[in-house]
């Protein structure tokens, strides 16, 4: 855009048209070409036991489960943190480290660049932990991702402008890694929290990310004028919710420090992890 003769302050705005068009094309392709499930073009909600659309009472029922509430706020502590960092980092590097706007944006972009693999890495680590340690492995993966996210966020808040910018960048990359991993480990647990209300749980947890960004912006970064203290306070918020991971306990799967209840016979299931839904039989072949 700049090479074509546009002013920089106009070029970056016009460049936003490119991802917008790409998103529209991607959405159309997904709508017309993608299957909802590997074995069926359309997802049938009746496989979860539901026969009607969600109502307000479904949301009330789900929110009465403290484990769902904890997951909502844990997701606010990871995806909400990601959104908050997207708003804060470029300005932080530009004003606090006195960097050029372009260089500051490039460093801030390193945070988002970790999305290329780190979120998937979180889901993969959750699966691996389940393979070796049962369902409690998923909970530990969630806890550790949030724990180290808080550690590196606090560390980022300790890097002052007397140190080189690359020190802040190194800490930021480690911090970003665990932020994205926590998002993946969160949805390693979500499908098994309430199988009948899976759609409602997924929606509420996803909304928790937006809630986290609002909490961070209005409670940490806007009222606190210090350049570093908001990051440290935000780290405390993340750590608080990480330490509530022991709240995840189900009789059939166990929890963070114990296995399933003895009343659940080993022969009833082949694993300690409940299936998210009954696998429907394939009724048609996938055609290309």
| pLDDT for the residue numbered 241 | 98
Residue pLDDT, tens place only, 95-149: 999 999 889 999 999 999 999 999 999 999 999 999 999 999 999 999 999 999 9
Whether 142 and 73 have beta carbons less than 8 Å apart is answered as: no
Q: Which two three-digit tokens encode residue 177?
A: 């890694």
Q: Can you list the domains of the chain with their CATH numbers?
A: 1-26 (no CATH), 62-260 (1.20.1250.20)
- With 70 as the cut, is the pLDDT of residue 272 above it? no
The long-range contacts involving 114-119, CB below 8 angstroms and separated by at least 24 positions, are 114/173, 114/176, 114/177, 114/179, 114/180, 115/180, 118/176, 118/177, 118/179, 118/180, 118/181, 118/184, 119/180, 119/181, 119/183, 119/184
Whether 149 and 78 have beta carbons less than 8 Å apart is answered as: yes
- With 90 as the cut, is the pLDDT of residue 174 above it? yes
| pLDDT for the residue numbered 20 | 96
Query: Residue 224 and residue 232: Cα distance in Å, rounded?
Result: 11
Query: Residue 65 and residue 69: Cα distance in Å, rounded?
Result: 7
Distances (CA, A) of 23 to 17, 141, 162, 244, 257: 10, 32, 41, 37, 43
């Amino acid at each position: 855009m700049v090479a074509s003769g546009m002013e920089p302050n106009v070029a970056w705005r016009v460049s936003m048209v490119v991802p917008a068009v790409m998103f529209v094309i991607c959405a159309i392709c997904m709508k017309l070409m993608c299957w909802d499930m590997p074995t069926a073009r359309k997802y049938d909600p009746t496989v979860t036991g539901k026969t009607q659309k969600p109502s307000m009472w479904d949301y009330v029922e789900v929110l009465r489960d403290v484990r769902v509430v904890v997951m909502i706020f844990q997701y606010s502590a990871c995806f909400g943190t990601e959104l908050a960092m997207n708003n804060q980092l470029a300005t932080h590097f530009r004003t606090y480290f006195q960097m050029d706007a372009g260089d500051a944006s490039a460093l801030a972009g390193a945070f988002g660049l970790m999305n290329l693999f780190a979120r998937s890495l979180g889901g993969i680590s959750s699966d691996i932990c389940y393979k070796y340690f049962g369902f409690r492995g998923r909970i530990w993966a969630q806890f550790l991702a949030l724990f180290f996210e808080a550690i590196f966020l606090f560390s980022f808040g300790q890097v002052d402008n007397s140190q080189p910018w690359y020190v802040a960048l190194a800490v930021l990359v480690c911090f970003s890694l665990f932020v994205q991993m926590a998002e993946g480990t969160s949805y390693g647990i979500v499908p098994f929290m309430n199988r009948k209300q899976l759609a409602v749980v997924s929606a509420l947890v996803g909304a928790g990310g937006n809630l986290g960004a609002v909490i961070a912006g209005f409670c940490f970064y806007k009222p606190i004028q210090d350049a570093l203290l908001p990051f440290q306070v935000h780290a405390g918020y993340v750590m608080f919710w990480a330490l509530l991971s022991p709240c995840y306990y189900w009789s059939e799967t166990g929890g963070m420090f114990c296995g399933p209840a003895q009343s659940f016979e080993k022969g009833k299931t082949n694993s300690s992890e409940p299936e998210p839904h009954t696998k429907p039989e394939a009724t048609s072949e996938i055609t290309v």
